[in-house]
Structure 1
Amino acid sequence: MFKGRKSMFLLRNVKYKNILEIEELYIPEKMITVITGESGSGKTTLLKMLNKMITPDRGEILFKGQPLEKIDSVDLRRKVVMLPQFPVVFPGDVRENLIAGLRFSEKKIPSDERLREILEFVMLKKSLNDDPEKFSGGEKQRLALARVLLMDPDVFLLDEPTSSLDRETGIEIIRRVVDLVRKRNKTLIVVTHDPELRRFADRLIEMKDGRVLNGASGH
């Protein structure tokens, strides 16, 4: 199905507690992969495994052909950045929150103009001096997304990125992110229960009870 497309991740015989059991799963590079399924189907657990937030009890996960267990966790998380469903808000103002990821990844801090641009990109009408602790859930989610986008990793892992947003705003933001990812030849992996987001997928993976229902391979 994705002939000639290298794998970004390849999972083989992966098991984690009684939550996840995957014989084989191929996730192509430089494409949009959408993972769907009901709550409790193992979607978030799978996502966390891809940047070593959790480790499988058995099996193998390869990143660009290299076993994850042999890759330094900090180095991996500079290349594979995850946006959790309920993002952390760091101490300080909006500016400090936007550049927190760049400090972690030891990248150059952009100008205030660039920071304002990324706020506009995620449709967050806030000042760089505002206090994010006072933001709504949806505003915090967009702020965290902006922080992740600024880090410009190889792989974006987004866990229910529209869960705190109204449908129209959520769809528009994902459309913008997908366009950006394609333009920059990045890899995007989105976990969602929202059927509306299926339309953005180059590769759609459905999960149930910790197993992949469709198209585990494809390479």
Structure 2
Amino acid sequence: MFEIRNIKFRNILDIKFLNIDKPITCVVGPSGSGKTTLLRMLNRLNVPDDGVILYNNKDISKIDTIILRRNVVMLGQTPVIYSGNIEDNLQIGLEFSKKLPASKSRMKEILERVELNKKLTDGCGNLSGGEKQRLCLARVMLMDADTYLLDEPSAALDKDTEQFIIDNFSKFVLENNKELIMITHSEQIAQKYNNSIVRIENGEVVKSYYE
């Protein structure tokens, strides 16, 4: 999936080598260690000052950005909600990636998966922080990417809901033969995937628990 060689970015990252090839990988480490910067590099939201990143054996700097981001979709910590209703917010990811619109039945199925009990015609103005994050999760699931990059996707959720969302998203990834690279501060979540943990400190990979 991803192979990283001699990556440097400002004074934030200095990674000699990292191979990420598991269906689910957790990236852990203290705040400010460079985890989000690394994740943003995997679909070229950040571009390294030096080094190379390979995605499925191709240098991502040589891949058209639109094509790369169609296949490698990122969801950040802060939910991004667009104008319009629930359906508009679900469809907009497909629109950005130039894919066909989803059917109403498919959108309802995805909303059920993330336990967002809303109608497609409901507005988004009164959604709580947790509901906004669920809607964004539903949007990226609907985009049917090959690889998902999630930066603390459950940060706005309580612990029980966090566990439910991560378990369901992980199941979705495994059932559909996709990949998930996820930053998390939750030791409980990370330990569920303890054969594929990458720990970053001070911009360097200090441990990679890959079996």
Say yes or no: TM over 0.5: yes
Aligned match of 1:126: 118
Shift of 1:116: 1.3
- Single out whichever of 152-161 and 133-142 deviates more from structure 2: 133-142
Shift of 1:133: 2.8
Q: Which fold has the larger relative contact order, with Cα–Cα distance below 8 Å and residues 6 or more apart in sequence? A: 1
Q: Secondary structure of 2:207's match?
A: coil
What stretches of structure 1 of length at least 5 have no aligned partner?
1-7
Output the TM-score relative to the length of structure 2. Answer: 0.95
Structural mapping, 1:165-184, within 5 Å: 165-184=157-176
Contact kept in structure 2, 1:9 and 1:28, CA below 8 Å: yes
Shift of 1:174: 0.7
Structural mapping, 1:151-166, within 5 Å: 151-166=143-158
Shift of 1:91: 1.1
Within 1, Cα distance between the matches of 2:14 and 2:175?
A: 34
Amino acid aligned to 1:36: V
What stretches of structure 2 of length at least 5 have no aligned partner?
none
Q: Secondary structure of 1:24's match?
A: strand
Within 1, Cα distance between the matches of 2:27 and 2:205?
A: 10
Percent identity for Structure 1 against Structure 2: 47
Amino acid aligned to 1:92: G
Aligned match of 2:15: 22
Structural mapping, 1:175-214, within 5 Å: 175-201=167-193, 202-214=195-207
Aligned match of 2:52: 60
Amino acid aligned to 1:151: M
Aligned match of 2:70: 78
Contact kept in structure 2, 1:89 and 1:133, CA below 8 Å: no
1:87 maps to 2:100: no
Provide, for residues 57-100 of structure 1, a one-character-per-residue CA deviation record: whole Å limited to 9, x for no partner. Answer: 11111111111110111110000000011021111100000011
Supply the RMSD in Å over aligned alpha carbons.
Answer: 1.4
The number of residue pairs the alignment matches comes to 210
Output the TM-score relative to the length of structure 1. Answer: 0.92
